[in-house]
Amino acid sequence: MADDARLRRDLQGEVDRLVAECKASGLDNAARYLADNRTAVVEIAIKARSEPKTRDLPSPFVYSMQ
Amino acid sequence: MKVLGLSFGFHDSAAALLIDGRIVAAGQEERFTRIKHDAGFPHRAIEFCLRQAGISITEVDRIVYYENALKKFDRIVWASTVRELQKSTGGLRDRALALWNAATKPDDVPPYLKSVTHSWFKLNKFDAVGKISDELAVSRKIVAYVDHHDSHLAAAFYTSPFYQAAIVTMDGVGEYETAVIAVGRGSEIERKLAINLPHSIGLFYSAFTAFLGFEVNEGEYKVMGMAAFGQPKYYDEVRRLITLRDDGGFEIEQSCFEFLTPFDLPYTKEFLRRFGEPREPEAEFAAQRSDLPEDLTDMEAARVLSSSRHYADLAASVQLCTEELVLHLVAKASAIAGTRNVCLAGGVALNSLANGRLIREGGYNLFVHPAAGDAGNAIGAAASYYHRAAKQPRMQGLASPYLGSPLDTAEVEAAVATSGFDAVRTYSSNEALVDHVAGLLADGAVIGWVQGQAEWGPRALGARSILADPTNPAMKRIVNERVKFRELFRPFAPAVTAEAASQYFDFKTNVTAGAPEYYMLAVHPVRAEMKGVVPAITHADGSARVQIVTAASNPTFHGLLRAFERRKGVPILMNTSFNLRGEPMVDSPRDAIRTFSISGIDYLVLGQTVVSSRVEL
């Protein structure tokens, strides 16, 4: 539980840093998305970081764009 | 000044080291890890570069990543927003945006954006600088990044032999940009025009690559190869998808493609309505009845031949339209720059058919960076930083494509000793070696040829090559079936001595050192009177993707070509990459022994040592 709370805290901090960095770089789309949807983004990030690090990549076409 | 350029995270990870304006080493991660198109952090390639220079990571002044990760994410958010708006109408437009504003649950985020956000956090893609700092245990302060197409521009221009040139970069997509026109002069690069997503010639070609049953980022060469068997019967339909603008730019008709938020396939139902059913991956392809198994019924054979013709016609149409678009971009770039010197990079610059037309029909002095795709951006990132941020004088151009792993004699001895092959002979002189190998080739043997430092870029240029006799009409089928295990329609390229090249191939111009023909990056017609002389390297349309070899650039390989000429009267060898289907090119002696032992290669040459798969040498 303590680990879960710390992961959440860490990722909230990471999203806030990303928002600040995007704003500073004039990347308004990313800044607005990450800031306006912070709660959902943090939930997505927690799930992503909780999964094993496998190479489950999308199709080469999609991957080359992401 | 020591600058390490890195490309990783998407495909074709690589590292390159620039010291005081000289490229000391460059390597692609896949060659070391043996994972084709490896996208992982390039630890092994970095180790190789540092080892070549004899320095440690602490001695590197600057590490430069090849693109702006956050800007790329900004584009993904933008593309997702546009897509949501396109799907909605009227009052629904506001609702579409509101749907993912202030989302509290992941499912409130549009599926594509949710998927990308998930994978970016999982793979830690947001903070490339932090990742590099962590992985290499260096301060963030020495890590920088440059934009994706700035890396391509730098790779194209700074490694070229030109003081002044037009520069054109073309790929799938970087951050937002898919193509850029710029002018290079000395150490300066000035951008003139940029084309942004969703208009992308790289994605356009990739979409048809997928439709034709090939893997994207891998099968584009196969589309080029297939095009030779067809006629551009669908030219009008394909050409209607492209609008060429007067300013040199272009637009791609979007109703047929899904370039903004692709989940799997890059084309739409409208595309299928216009072009029919996609070709099944691995579907049989044949140009004539004799290419098919004898036990196939006439009805089945007719079906395969008809289907093959249809898809080849489509490939020919797509290729022709792509060439026209590339010619359009380069013509504008050349006019803007006021010079016929042209530098190309980006994945589309590997379209060797288009490059051949630029040289023959456009009369351009062309330079194509040999690793024109994203691997080459390791050099590009380092070069861009070196000139544009550090304001250093113009670096040396690319002196040689042999920037990869050297062949170590002790490694050769160790690999051979543990290989289980008993028939081994080592030569004390190059002359004796090439004379012996030329004799084997003339007698019909297929040779695995490993010499010196490995090539930079996707083409085998006589350092990690499979070689065979081009005068034997059966050799194409033998190497495709027995050695490479790949599709029979795919052509093989020739390596030819510089002295004799124009006797066999119609370049329509004087080819100078450093031109695409030196890196096997341009297709030209085989002269009519020579097609019957070298049938194994003459493709279905009478063309060949030529590599010119000089005594200065690769003396041993050049010596082999001359020795073969003394045996067979032809200074040409069939030259294909030393790998099996789906694998990266071999790098080390051990890789070569392994591939040799499981393929139909007759002899393996590792430096001065010849290993035979037969009992006697």
Is B184 among the domain residues? Answer: no
- Assigned domain for B525 exists: yes
B149 and B199 fall within a common domain: no
Task: pLDDT band for B295, please (50, 70, 90 cuts).
Answer: confident
Whether B178 is in a domain gets the answer: no
Rounded CA-CA distance B60/B286 in Å is: 53
Contacts of B207 in chain A (CB under 8 A): 61
**Cross-strand bridge partners of residue B190:** B183
Please compute, for residue B391, the number of CA atoms within 13 A of its CA located in the half-sphere on the CB side. 0
From B350, B368, B386, give the residue that closes a domain: B368
Share the mean pLDDT of chain B. 94
Same domain, residue pair B339 and B381: no
- ipTM field: 0.93
Task: Choose among A11, A40, A65: nearest Cβ to B105.
Answer: A40
* Whole-Å CA distances, B210 to B266, B279, B286, B572: 8, 9, 19, 34
For residues B318 and B416, state if they share a domain. Answer: no
Query: Residue B571, preceding bond cis, omega within 30 degrees?
Result: no
The residue behind tokens 């099968």 is B219
Q: Are B266 and B255 in contact (CB under 8 A)?
A: no
Query: B115 to chain A: which residues are within 8 Å by CB?
Result: 58
Whether B348 and B487 map to the same domain: the answer is: no
* Confidence check: pLDDT of B202 > 70: yes
CB pairs under 8 A between A and B: 121
Residues B33, B84, single domain; the answer is yes
Contact call for B106 and A63, based on CB within 8 A: no
Are B74 and B54 within one domain? Answer: yes
Strands (DSSP E) found in B329-436: 341-345, 365-368, 424-426
Contact A65 B172 (CB under 8 A): yes
> What CATH number is given to the structural domain containing B470?
3.90.870.20
Cβ-Cβ contacts under 8 Å, A47 against chain B: 106, 118
| Token output for B18 | 């620039």
Taking an 8 Å cut-off on Cβ atoms, the answer to whether A30 and B77 are in contact is yes
Return the higher-pLDDT residue of B284 and B535.
B535
Q: Which residues contact B596 (CB under 8 A, 6 or more apart)?
A: B448, B604, B611, B613
Q: Return the pLDDT at B91.
A: 59
The structure tokens 């949807």 sit at A37
Three-state DSSP class for residue A46: helix
Mean pLDDT of B239-267: 92
What is the distance between the alpha carbons of residues B51 and B225, in angstroms, rounded to a whole number? Answer: 38
pLDDT in tens, B380-418: 999 999 999 999 999 999 999 999 999 999 999 999 999
Note the pLDDT of residue B614.
66
As for how many domains chain B has, the answer is 3
Domain span at residue B152 reads 1-157+372-399
The nearest CA of chain B is from the CA of A7 a distance in Å of 13
Pair type for strands B341-345 and B250-252: unpaired
Give backbone dihedrals phi and psi of A5, rounded to 5 degrees, phi first: -65, -40
Residue B323: strand pairing partners: none
Q: Using CB atoms, which residue from B70, B123, B203 is nearest to A27?
A: B70
- Return the residue of A nearest to B125 by Cα: A66
Angle (CA) B349-B43-B372 rounded to 5° is 5
CB contact under 8 A, B121 and A53: no
**B100 and chain A in contact, CB less than 8 A:** yes
Is B108 part of a structural domain of the chain? Answer: yes
Q: Does B279 touch chain A (CB under 8 A)?
A: no
pLDDT (0 to 100) of residue A59: 67
Both B417 and B363 in a single domain?
no
Q: Which of A14, A27, A40 sits opposite B106 (nearest CB)?
A: A40
pLDDT digits (tens, 9 = 90+) for B512-559: 888 999 999 999 999 999 999 999 999 999 999 999 999 999 999 999
Q: How far does Cα B367 stand from its chain's mean position?
A: 15
Please check whether residue B437 is in contact with residue B560, taking contact to mean a CB–CB distance below 8 angstroms.
yes
Task: Report the pLDDT averaged over residues A35-52.
Answer: 93
Residue given tokens 């504008």 in the structure block: B332
pLDDT of residue B92: 57
Long-range CB contacts for residues B217-220, cutoff 8 Å, separation at least 24: B217/A60, B217/A61, B217/A64, B217/B11, B217/B37, B217/B347, B218/A60, B218/B36, B218/B37, B220/B347, B220/B350, B220/B351
Other CB atoms within 10 A of residue A28 CB:
13
What is the chain A residue with the closest CA to B207?
Answer: A61
Closest to A20 in 3D by CA, of B456, B486, A12: A12
Task: Over range B264-287, report the average pLDDT.
Answer: 92
Asked if residue B426 and residue B476 are part of one domain, the reply reads: yes
How does pLDDT run across A10-30, given as a tens digit for each residue? 999 999 999 999 999 999 999
pLDDT of residue B615: 55
State CA B312 to chain mean position distance.
Answer: 22
State residue A54's pLDDT score. 67
User: Tell me: the pLDDT tens digits for B448-484?
Assistant: 999 999 999 999 999 999 999 999 999 998 998 888 7
The reply to whether B97 falls in a domain is yes
- Taking the CA of residue B449 and the nearest CA in chain A, the distance in Å comes to 31
**CATH number, domain containing residue B79:** 3.30.420.40
Is the residue at B162 inside a domain? no
Same domain for B350 and B474, yes or no, is no
Residues B353 and B442 both lie in one domain: no
User: Mind listing the pLDDT tens digit for each residue in B556-608?
Assistant: 999 999 999 999 999 999 999 999 888 999 999 999 999 999 999 999 999 99
Residue in chain A lying closest to B79 (CA):
A29
Nearest to A60 among B116, B122, B215 (CB): B215
Q: Show the DSSP H helices in chain A as ranges.
A: 2-24, 28-36, 38-50, 60-65
Domain presence at residue B183 = no
B85 touches chain A (CB under 8 A): no
Closest CA to B594 of B609, B607, B611, B608: B611
Provide the sign of the torsion angle of the four alpha carbons B423, B451, B549, B12, taken in this order. positive
Question: How do B164-170 and B177-185 pair as beta strands?
Answer: antiparallel
